[in-house]
Amino acid sequence: MEGHTYLRTHDLSAEHMLIDLGEVVTELHGTSGAQDRAAVTLVKQAGMSIVLTHLHKGGVLREHGAPGPASVQVLDGQVRFQIGDESVEAGAGRLVAFDGGVRHSVEALEDATLLLTITGGA
C-alpha cells in the first residue's frame, strides 16, 4: 500500500461548524482502498487545522514536526508514536499532545483513525 488520499477542506466561514465525525470517518474509510492512508482537513482557519486521518495497519506518517502546538486523538485502532528516543503506544480514547517543532513519527499497529489538531500554521 502506497500513497494517500486527501478529501475536501472546509474553511470556517461562519461562527461555528458542526461536523458529524461518524459520517466523515465512514467516508474516509471508504476512500483509502489500496493506499496506506487517507485524510480530510475538516477545518482550516486562522492558524488552526483539524485533520481526520485513517492509517491502514503498517501505515506510517514519517518523522515531522508541526509549526505550533498539536494534538493527536486516537479515535479507533492502535498506533505507536516515536518521539526522539521514546516510543509511546496509544489506542482508542488516548490523546497525545506535542509542542511546536517536536519531531515525531506515527505507525499504525492496526488500522487506526486519528483526529489531529494543529495550530500555528497559516
- For domain 4-119, the question of CATH label 3.60.20.10 is answered with no
pLDDT at residue 22 greater than cutoff 80: yes
- pLDDT computed for residue 30 by the predictor: 77
Comparing 10 with 40, which gets the higher pLDDT? 40
CB 36 within 8 A of CB 1: yes
Write down the domain spans for the chain.
4-119
Listed residue (111, 102, 55, 110) closest to 82, CA to CA: 102
DSSP label at residue 54: E
Q: What is the rounded average pLDDT of the residues 4-13?
A: 49
Q: For residue range 72-97, list pLDDT tens digits in order.
A: 999 999 999 999 899 999 999 999 99
- pLDDT computed for residue 11 by the predictor: 55
Q: pTM to 2 decimals?
A: 0.82
Comparing 14 with 55, which gets the higher pLDDT? 55
**Residue 86's beta-bridge partner residues?**
83
CA dist., res. 80 & res. 106, Å (int): 6
Q: What is the mean pLDDT of the chain?
A: 85
Q: For residue range 29-68, list pLDDT tens digits in order.
A: 777 566 788 888 888 888 889 999 999 999 999 999 988 9
